[in-house]
Amino acid sequence: MKKIIIYGSQYGTTKRYAEKLSELTGISVMSYEKIKDLSAYDEIIHFGGLYAGGVKGLKNTIKALPQNAQLIIVTVGLSDVTNTNNTDHIKKSIHQQVPQPILDRTKILHLRGGIDYSKLNFMHKTMMSLVYKKAKNTPEEEKTAEVRDMIETYNQKVDFTDFDSLQQVIEVI
Ligand SMILES: Cc1cc2nc3c(=O)[nH]c(=O)nc-3n(C[C@H](O)[C@H](O)[C@H](O)COP(=O)(O)O)c2cc1C
C-alpha cells in the first residue's frame, strides 16, 4: 500500500506530529497546500489542526482523494482527547465535513496539541476572545468539558503535545 502523510497546520503543532510520524514510519509528508495529485496513493493520513470544529486542510485532501483510497483523519486540538464527550463532538463535526461514501473508508483519531495566545494572528485572537466571553457567561452546569478546557487555558501558552500518542496512529496504519 502506498501511503502519504498530509498536514494542515497554522501554528506548527500539527506539523510537528505529522513530521514525527513520518520520521518514525518512513512515510513521506507534505502540507495540504502542496497537494497536486494523490492518484499514486491508496492510503492517505491527514493530520489537521482543529479550528472551530473544522479540520485544517481536510477539504483539499478530500477533493484530491483517489477513489477507493483509505483515509485516516488525525485531529489535533486543544481539548482533552481522553474525554469521550470531546472526541464524540469532534467526530460529529467531521461527519458534517466528509461525504458518507468517504466516511465509510475513513478512520478518525484524536491527538492533543497546544496553543500560544501570544502567537495568534489578529483574527484568531479576536475569535478566541469572543468564544471566551461567551463561555464565561455560560451557566456552570451547561459548560461542556471542551468549554472548560478553553477557559482554563485562555491567554496562556500550553503544550500537550505527546509523541507517544502517535503509537495509536502507527497501529492503525
Ligand atoms: C481560532 C481557534 C479555534 C480553535 N478551535 C478549536 C476547536 O474547535 N477544538 C479544539 O480542540 N481546539 C481548537 N483550537 C485549538 C487548536 O486546535 C490547537 O491550538 C492546535 O494545536 C492548533 O494546531 P496548529 O498549531 O497545527 O495550527 C482552536 C484554536 C484557535 C486559535
Tens of pLDDT, residue by residue over 72-115, are 999 999 999 999 999 999 999 999 999 999 999 999 999 999 99
- Nearest CA, atom 28, ligand 1: 51
**122 C-beta neighbours (distance < 10 Å), count:** 7
77 Cα to the center of ligand 1, angstroms: 5
The proportion of the chain whose per-residue pLDDT surpasses 70, expressed as a percent, equals 100
Q: Are strands 106-112 and 54-55 parallel, antiparallel or unpaired?
A: unpaired
Average the pLDDT over 136-148 and give the result. Answer: 91
40 Cα to the center of ligand 1, angstroms: 31
Q: Which domain holds residue 9?
A: 3-115+159-172
- For residue 52, the ligand 1 atom closest to its alpha carbon is 8
Tell me what percent of the chain is helix, strand and coil, each rounded to the nearest 5.
45, 25, 30
SS3 11: coil
164 Cα to the center of ligand 1, angstroms: 20
Quote the pTM value.
0.97
Asked, for residue 127, whether it belongs to a domain, the answer is: no
162 Cα to the center of ligand 1, angstroms: 16
CB contact at 8 A, 135 and 147: yes
Asked, for residue 27, whether it belongs to a domain, the answer is: yes
- Nearest CA, atom 8, ligand 1: 52
Asked, for residue 64, whether it belongs to a domain, the answer is: yes
Asked, for residue 71, whether it belongs to a domain, the answer is: yes
Say if residue 1's pLDDT is above 90.
no
Nearest partner of 148 among 72, 76, 46, 79, judged by Cα: 79
What average pLDDT does the structure give for the chain? 96
Look at the chain and report how many structural domains it folds into. 1
